Structure 1
Amino acid sequence: MSRRAPSDRFEGRIAGVGTASGTRIVVGMWQRSPLGRFTDVMVEDPAGHRLLLAPSAEVADYVSATYSFDEVRVVDVETRRVDGGLAVRAGDLSVRLVVGRISPLGMLLRVVPARVATAPAWLRIIDPIARVLVPGARTAGSAGGGRREYYGVTLVRDVVAIEASDGGRDLGRLAPLSPPVRFGFGSAPARPSLVDVVTTIR
């Protein structure tokens, strides 16, 4: 009998937003993971340049082996709660998000028990449905290096406003995350959102 491959489990939140400048930002805020508690930021600019901002070399190595980037930087990354949402600073990038109500998709997801919603077997089954319901999104796919990755989202909140700058340059008002980002096998939804998620890499 073959043994199940070991899994790395990441529990936390992902914020995915676009800006009027064409910059798209994905922030992963991980409360529990094999790498401890950390936040990393993925940025794709209007020209398609993909940048990873990681808080340590260990995180940079792991994430860049899982996703594809044109550039990787190790910088100080700070996340904090603020009135109405959260603020993230990663090197020269500063982002403040205003978080709104649970989205219609989030209400639908609450019907599924969390244990089921985050199970890789379930996420393999619903992947074709997820692609139709949320264009660009995937729940199962390749993580590189022969590994598989599974996204189990349990709650979705709308992001309703943003203040973002890079090196002091204003990135503009909130916009859909469009076109989809190209870091991995799937993208965050076009609708700006903050999701509670369990990511399993096997």
Structure 2
Amino acid sequence: MSQKRHRAPLSTRLRFDGYIAGTGTTSGTRIVLGHWPRSPFGPFSDVMLERKDGERLLFAPTAQAADFIAATYNFDTVHVVPVDVSVEAALWTVKAGHLDLRFTTGRRGPLGLLLRAVPDALAGRPAWSTLLDLPARLLLSGVRTRGSAGNGRREWYGPRDLKPIDTVSAVFEGRDLGVLSPIEPPVRFGFASVPRKPGVTRITTTVALGPEECRPPRA
């Protein structure tokens, strides 16, 4: 008697819970930190950096994380290096390859208070992110909460908190990048940028794999 073969699911969604911090510097370099205490790859952090001339770099701690991120977003150079993040109250300290970054957060404003009132179960739903997409585009230029990513993937961002970044110090490849500055022009890693005003967003990110990735293996 033959056994019934089980097909793989037609859609696979991966969920990342953590923080996205975005800041500009007076040198023109813009930096986006992803800090993920919970992810399909275990706890990890990554850094996306765009130079003033437009070169986009990724720093990720493992080949697995680097491959996944590089297949979702756009980079000119990918570095697999240790990415260490320390958070002590309002102070964040980040070390990623030749980047040393420190920043402090301030008190959350009205938008942060509003986001904190959203139940966690709702914030993680793609339908909620879809509902927020138009308000985010109208209120926060360059920000999207849903869109198409690389390799046919879809992505949803569910914000749960927001705090401003008050101070920044950063050194990259031995060069001081200057002090805090708006994220201008917007970063170009994917379908959306981060808010123009530097800040840290508590977020749930959902990534739906593309059709080819979800296709069951041939018998």
Considering the TM-score relative to the shorter chain, is it more than 0.5? yes
2:28 is matched with 22
Q: Distance in 1 between matches of 2:181 and 2:29?
A: 9
Query: Is the partner of 1:138 in helix, strand or coil?
Result: coil
Root mean square deviation of aligned Cα: 1.3
The answer for the alignment partner of 2:70 in structure 1 is 64
Q: Distance in 2 between matches of 1:164 and 1:105?
A: 27
Deviation at 1:4, TM superposition (A): 6.4
Query: Match of 2:162?
Result: 156
Matched, 1:34 2:43: no
Instruction: Pick the aligned partner of 1:80 from 86, 103, 112.
Output: 86
Deviations 1:106-152 (A, max 9, x none): 12223322222221012112211210011111110012211110000
How far apart, CA to CA, are the structure 1 residues paired with 2:78 and 2:116? 36
- Tell me the distance in 1 between the aligned counterparts of 2:145 and 2:109: 18
Match of 2:113 in 1: 107
Q: Aligned AA for 1:193?
A: G
Match of 2:186 among 180, 183, 188: 180
SS at match of 1:17: strand
Aligned to 2:137: 131
Q: Residue 169 of structure 1 aligns with which residue?
A: 175
Matches of 2:90 and 2:204, distance apart in 1: 24
* Alignment pair present for 1:120 and 2:126: yes
Give the equivalent residue in structure 2 for 1:195: 201
Mapped to 2, the partners of 1:146 and 1:74 lie a distance apart of 24
Structure whose residues are more often strand by fraction:
1
Unaligned segments of structure 2, at least 5 residues: 1-8, 209-219
Q: Which moved more, 1:62-71 or 1:100-109?
A: 100-109
Runs of 5+ in structure 1 lacking a partner?
none
Aligned sequence identity (%): 50
Match of 1:144 in 2: 150
Aligned length: 200
Aligned to 2:216: none
TM-score, scaled to structure 2: 0.88
- Give the whole-Å Cα distance in 2 for the aligned partners of 1:83 and 1:186: 29
C-alpha displacement at 1:60, in angstroms?
Answer: 0.7
Residue type at the aligned position of 1:118: G
* In structure 2, distance between residues paired with 1:116 and 1:65: 28
Residue 154 of structure 1 deviates from its aligned partner by: 0.4
- Equivalent position of 1:9 in the other structure: 15
Hey, what's the Cα distance between the residues in 2 that align with 1:146 and 1:201? 11
Match of 1:53 in 2: 59
Structure 2 distance, partners of 1:114, 1:35, is 21
Distance 1:153 1:161, change over 3 A: same
Using the alignment, how far apart are the partners of 1:4 and 1:16 within structure 2?
A: 34
For 1:105 and 1:70, how far apart are their aligned partners in 2?
Answer: 34
3-state secondary structure, aligned to 1:36 = coil
